[in-house]
Structure 1
Amino acid sequence: MYFVYEIEFFSNKSYFSDLISAFARQEQMQVDVIQSNDKIVMIFDQENEQIEKFLNGMKDVLPASLFLGKGKHYFLDEKPSALPVTKVNLPVNIAPCPTCQKEMFDVSSRRYYYPFTSCNHCGTQHPFLDRYPYDRTHTVMKFLIPCSHCQEEAKSNVLRLDYPLISCIECGVSIRMLDKESEHLALNKGDFRKLFEVSGRAIAAGKNVLMKTAHGYRKFFKPTVEYSPAKSILLMADANGLNTHLMMITQEFNALLSIERPLLRVATKSDDLKAIYGSSVQVKYPDDGMTILLAREIMNAGLQYISYVECNADEEADFLVDFDLPIKKQKDMKLFINQDKKLFVSGERIVFPTVVENSKNLVSIAHDLACVKTDNLSIIDSLEVFDSVQSDMLYVLEDEAFEGGHSNEHRFSQWNASMLSVIAEHDKVGQKAIGVHFDGTLNFLYYNGKEVMNVVPSIPFESDNLWEKISTLREGSDRLVVNYKKAYPEVFERLDNLAGDMDIFEVTAIVLGLENESLEGISAQALSFLGKGGLQVDTRVKDNRFDNYAFLTSIMSYQLGGVENNLMCYSIYESFGDYIGEIVPQLIEKSKAKIITLTGETFANQSLYGRIQRTLGQYNPLMNKNFPIGKENAVYGALYL
């Protein structure tokens, strides 16, 4: 008889199961730990009296994870056979685990206030990777020689056995703080603590601090009504302040505090935050050693939150906190939550690097990510961490600035690879499907089991000569242009002099006068609408094709009629939802397909997502599970072209 404890874990990432295995070795517990695509299974000999103690002990070792679900236990007469699993050592980029965080705040530890504290199963490892394979000689840590304590620990500590990035204050990365007059170098525990303490007090006093973190340079400041840049991110230093200042469902709260630390747009609750950010704000919980230590000192200075903007090293600031090692910054991962549904929207951190199946000898490249075969495994990661490789084929995203010089090179479109990424993730390759790709432009696709076709493409949008295109759209459009110029002369002039290619949502944000001139700005406004129904925005013209200019004309007409921005933005998404809900059933009937895929980060909006669930919910549309629904899924989908 065997005792089995099973935990839902909806990811192919192994850091959670590896941590369980390490803890078992530490506690000398005999247990088989098996991970599949959606769960982690622990199999014990029932006669072991230490099982309950072991399971209770795991609570102090295991972190919260956004991939984690429910647990259950049961008994088996026979021990199930474990399938052999090929493992590859990939660097993670998550927050420190509970054990590592305890060290950072234990004054007796060699890592007291040391921001680069991590172990085999946690921390910001990927930023220090130089190239594969992932070992110390291929990281920027190769320049630092571990002290005798770290060398011994790499042999004896189950969490850091042969850990490539092992270091401490004695042998690790030095940090320094500069102002306009002096420089302070942290060399010991007291120095490290003092540096973060001074930084926290400076921010509380209204100064700003430019800090190099494992996620790049961030400029931290105390947000006010007078100073809150459009793309600033709220850093909630105190977990107790989350429910005080933000209006969240349980799933959002758990996701923010998970070890993955995603970026989440959340509704504001307190009057202070509403006055600064409006109805919603992008929120983070401290996600690397530098930010975690700063957050502790922010709390000691009496604040529950601060803000930051991502920036370059030459950004003006009152203080600079820096270190000399180069890092490879990953784009932060935006997460979208609708009840129990979690979707990665865009970014690299958390999702990449990852191992995928790839039966072909090909390399795919998209958005500076590459899928490369190494030692019979295919890894998706940043292009710059791979050495040159040999392959039979090279697939490159169209418009990607990459010259491979391969004799068998193919260019592919975003919508094509995005749809195939969902098809492949759900094991539907070869089955007919209808796809909707909505990422700046809206396209309706058909997959016949062999290739993807764009059957209802958008009418191309060009932002130059905008007024000429609008005035000739239909009868009466010229009068709209005249009236709009009188009512909004500054906006009219700006639209008359647009430079470069801009997508429809950037132009729409300008029309509405939003501070954040992007899809993100429109989405934030839509979230602030508390009504039950919107207006019908024109989303198509002849042949059921979406026309960007008709769309803009409709918005301008409502604007002239005095419609508020939040209602307008809500109506935009609601109208798109109705349009999609009308076209897809027509395509299903014509093609007899039974599968629907949805791709593109535009779907990460509560108004649109909710409308799609009402109009297409009966078809159970499929979306990416382990990859972003936005552009980064293309590097995986290209493997199935």
Structure 2
Amino acid sequence: MYFVFELDFNSSKTYVADLMKAHAKRIGIDADVIQDGQKIILAIDRDEKDLESFLLGLEEVLPASLFLGKSKHYFSEEKPQQSHYADENLPLNIAPCPTCQKEMFDVSSRRYYYPFTSCNACGSQHPFVTHYPYKRENSLMKFFAPCEACLNEVKENAFRLDYPLISCIDCGVPLRMMDKESEHTANDKGTYRQLFEVSARAVAAGETVLMKTAHGFRKLFKPQEGKIPPNSILLMADANTLNNHLMMVQQEFNALLSIERPLLRVATKSEELKALYGSSVLVKYPDDGMSMLFAKELLACGLDYAAYIECDAKEEADFLVDFDLPVGAQKDTKLFINQDTKLFVSGERIVYPVTVPNPKRVLGIAYGLAAAKAGDVTIIDNFDHFESVETAEIRILEGEVFESGHSNEVRFPQWKASMLSVLAEHGKLGEKAVGAHFDGQLYFLYYNGKEVINAVPPIPFESDNLWEKIGTLREGSDRLVVNYKKRFPETWERLNNLEGDIDIFKVTAITLGLKDESLEGISAEALSFLGKGGLQIDTRVKDNRFDNYAFLTSIMSYQLGDVENNFMCYSIYESFGDYIGEIIPQLIEKVDTRTVVLSGETFANQSLYGRIQRTLGQYKPLMNQKFPIGKENAVHGALYL
């Protein structure tokens, strides 16, 4: 008779299963851990004498995870059999696991305040890997010889058996801190801790610290009203005060503290954060050893949070914390949550690297990512992680700066690859489907089972001579231009002098006077509207195509009527939801399918997503679950063109 414990785990990543295996090995218990499909299954002989201590210890070993779902346990006469297990052996880029965190804060440990603490199943491994296959000689750690204690660990420590990146204070990466007058090196327990103490005190005192982390350079500072860059991220230091400052549902709280540590936009709650950031803010919980140790000392200074911007080494600051390794930082991953739905919006961390099928054995390139053969598998990762790749065909995203010199090079558009990525993930290739791709521009698409067709292309938006285009739109539009110039002369002048390729959402944000002049700024403003039901923004659909200028004219008319910005931004997304909800059923009727695909970052908005669920919910639209819904899914979709 076997005790069986099942966990829903919607990912091919194996770090949770690996932690369970390591814990069983450390306890000395005979346990089978199976990861199959979307489940992790643990099976142990019910007569195992250490079963109770194993289960109690498991609570301390396992982290919270975005991918974990419901669990159940039962007894079975037969041991569960594993049909498939993909041991990917890919470098991770997640937070330290609970066991490694304990080491960092245990003064008796060789890793006390050592920010590069990690094990086989956690930590910032990816930034230190130079190329595949993943082993120490192909990483930056090849420059550091493991000490005797670490050499023993790779043989005896269940969590670090044969771990390629093993290190500690005695044999690992030293830190240094510099200001304009002096430089200090951290190379033992006392100096490591002192470095983070000084960093936190400097930020608490209003100074800035440029800190190199596994995720690149971050300029840390204490946020002050009126002095916060629009691209800054709030770094929360204390889990116990999250609900004091932020208005979050339980799913957002759990996601923020998960071992994957995604980036979330959430509503502000405390008056101090509202004064600093307005109605919403991009939030991060400490996601690597550097930020965790800094946050610990920040709390000692009496601060619940700091802020940072992602930058390069040339950014000016009062202090610099650095180390002599050129880490390869991944783009942070934004997460969107709507009730039980979690969608990766954009980014690389958490999602990549990953192994994928490659039926046609081609090479895909998009946004610096490559879907390339590495040995017997195809891996999606940063292109520079592949030393050489042999392929019969290269598929490159339109606009990507990449000169292959290959005789068989094909360029592809984003919308086509995005739709194919969703279809491939859900096993719908070869079946007819319709869809919408919305990422700055809105495309309506048809997949005939072989290729993706741009069924309703967007009307190109040109921001030059904007007032002339608005003034001649329809009868009476010229009066709108005159009235708008009188009421909003500064905005009128700004829009009159637009140059270059500027998208409709940036122009909309400028029109509304938002600080963040982007789609992100409009989305953030929409989040602050707490009412129900929006205005109808004019889309003036002609031949099923969205009219950018009618859209702007409608917004300007509402502005002249003193409509609040947050209500307007909310209404923008609701109106798009109605428009999409009108066109998609028309396409469905024409091509006889009920498969609907949605892709593009713009769908990661509460009001738009909610409206889509109401207008198209009966079709159960498909979206990427394991890949970003935005740009970074293109490299995956390229394999199926």
TM-score by length of 2: 0.98
Are 2:2 and 2:77, in contact at CA under 8 Å, matched by a contact in 1?
Answer: yes
Q: Establish whether residue 27 from structure 1 lines up as the match of residue 27 from structure 2.
A: yes
In 2, Cα distance between equivalents of 1:554 and 1:192: 58
Aligned to 1:587: 587
Alignment of 1:112-123 (within 5 A): 112-123=112-123
- Superposed displacement of residue 47, structure 1: 2.5
Identity of aligned residues (%): 70
Aligned to 2:605: 605
Q: Establish whether residue 347 from structure 1 lines up as the match of residue 315 from structure 2.
A: no
Are 2:432 and 2:593, in contact at CA under 8 Å, matched by a contact in 1?
Answer: yes
Alignment of 1:239-318 (within 5 A): 239-318=239-318
In 1, Cα distance between equivalents of 2:380 and 2:91: 12
In 1, Cα distance between equivalents of 2:37 and 2:192: 41
Aligned to 1:489: 489
Query: What code does the residue aligned with 1:58 have?
Result: L
Aligned to 2:220: 220
Aligned to 1:557: 557
Are 2:36 and 2:84, in contact at CA under 8 Å, matched by a contact in 1?
Answer: no
Are 2:206 and 2:222, in contact at CA under 8 Å, matched by a contact in 1?
Answer: yes
Aligned to 2:148: 148
Query: What code does the residue aligned with 1:580 have?
Result: I
Are 2:36 and 2:85, in contact at CA under 8 Å, matched by a contact in 1?
Answer: no
In 2, Cα distance between equivalents of 1:346 and 1:226: 28
Aligned to 2:66: 66
TM-score by length of 1: 0.98
| 1:543 alignment partner, SS class | coil
- Superposed displacement of residue 301, structure 1: 0.4
- Superposed displacement of residue 297, structure 1: 0.3
In 2, Cα distance between equivalents of 1:393 and 1:58: 47
Q: Establish whether residue 237 from structure 1 lines up as the match of residue 237 from structure 2.
A: yes
Q: Establish whether residue 575 from structure 1 lines up as the match of residue 575 from structure 2.
A: yes
Alignment CA distance shift 1:508-1:82 (3 Å): same
Aligned to 1:182: 182
In 1, Cα distance between equivalents of 2:23 and 2:212: 33
Query: What code does the residue aligned with 2:168 have?
Result: C
| 1:495 alignment partner, SS class | helix
In 1, Cα distance between equivalents of 2:91 and 2:500: 38
In 2, Cα distance between equivalents of 1:495 and 1:164: 55
- Superposed displacement of residue 202, structure 1: 1.1
Q: Establish whether residue 374 from structure 1 lines up as the match of residue 374 from structure 2.
A: yes
Aligned to 1:423: 423
Residue-by-residue CA offset, 1:494-520 (whole Å, 9 max, x unaligned): 222223212211111111111011111
In 1, Cα distance between equivalents of 2:428 and 2:361: 22
In 2, Cα distance between equivalents of 1:539 and 1:628: 28
In 1, Cα distance between equivalents of 2:133 and 2:521: 41
Q: Establish whether residue 519 from structure 1 lines up as the match of residue 519 from structure 2.
A: yes
Query: What code does the residue aligned with 2:533 have?
Result: G
The number of equivalent residue pairs is: 641
Query: How large is the Cα RMSD of the aligned pairs?
Result: 1.2
* Structure 2: segments with no counterpart, 5+ residues: none
Query: What code does the residue aligned with 1:373 have?
Result: K
Query: What code does the residue aligned with 2:52 have?
Result: E
- Superposed displacement of residue 637, structure 1: 1.0
Aligned to 2:622: 622
Query: What code does the residue aligned with 1:533 have?
Result: G
Aligned to 2:206: 206
Aligned to 2:435: 435
In 2, Cα distance between equivalents of 1:463 and 1:29: 67
In 2, Cα distance between equivalents of 1:586 and 1:475: 30
Query: What code does the residue aligned with 1:301 have?
Result: C
Aligned to 2:57: 57
- Superposed displacement of residue 28, structure 1: 1.5
Q: Establish whether residue 394 from structure 1 lines up as the match of residue 394 from structure 2.
A: yes
- Superposed displacement of residue 493, structure 1: 2.1
In 1, Cα distance between equivalents of 2:467 and 2:405: 42
Are 2:374 and 2:386, in contact at CA under 8 Å, matched by a contact in 1?
Answer: no
- Superposed displacement of residue 625, structure 1: 0.8
Aligned to 1:360: 360
Are 2:217 and 2:313, in contact at CA under 8 Å, matched by a contact in 1?
Answer: yes
Query: What code does the residue aligned with 1:434 have?
Result: V
- Superposed displacement of residue 86, structure 1: 4.0
Are 2:36 and 2:83, in contact at CA under 8 Å, matched by a contact in 1?
Answer: no
- Superposed displacement of residue 84, structure 1: 4.4
In 2, Cα distance between equivalents of 1:78 and 1:169: 47
In 2, Cα distance between equivalents of 1:273 and 1:373: 47
In 2, Cα distance between equivalents of 1:141 and 1:489: 59
| 2:461 alignment partner, SS class | coil
Bigger Cα displacement from structure 2, 553-562 vs 105-114: 553-562
Query: What code does the residue aligned with 2:600 have?
Result: G
In 1, Cα distance between equivalents of 2:348 and 2:540: 34
- Superposed displacement of residue 83, structure 1: 2.1
Residue-by-residue CA offset, 1:506-558 (whole Å, 9 max, x unaligned): 11111111101111110110011122121111124311201212211111121
In 2, Cα distance between equivalents of 1:260 and 1:202: 28
Residue-by-residue CA offset, 1:192-216 (whole Å, 9 max, x unaligned): 1111001111111111111111111
Query: What code does the residue aligned with 1:598 have?
Result: L
| 2:637 alignment partner, SS class | helix
Query: What code does the residue aligned with 2:164 have?
Result: P
Bigger Cα displacement from structure 2, 146-155 vs 262-271: 146-155
Query: What code does the residue aligned with 2:500 have?
Result: G
- Superposed displacement of residue 259, structure 1: 0.4
Are 2:20 and 2:58, in contact at CA under 8 Å, matched by a contact in 1?
Answer: yes
Bigger Cα displacement from structure 2, 26-35 vs 441-450: 26-35
| 2:421 alignment partner, SS class | helix
Residue-by-residue CA offset, 1:140-179 (whole Å, 9 max, x unaligned): 1111111121112111111111211111111111111111
| 2:572 alignment partner, SS class | helix
* Structure 1: segments with no counterpart, 5+ residues: none
In 2, Cα distance between equivalents of 1:303 and 1:83: 50
Bigger Cα displacement from structure 2, 316-325 vs 338-347: 316-325
| 2:543 alignment partner, SS class | helix
In 1, Cα distance between equivalents of 2:419 and 2:230: 32
In 2, Cα distance between equivalents of 1:199 and 1:609: 41
Are 2:26 and 2:158, in contact at CA under 8 Å, matched by a contact in 1?
Answer: yes
Query: What code does the residue aligned with 1:380 have?
Result: I
Aligned to 1:165: 165
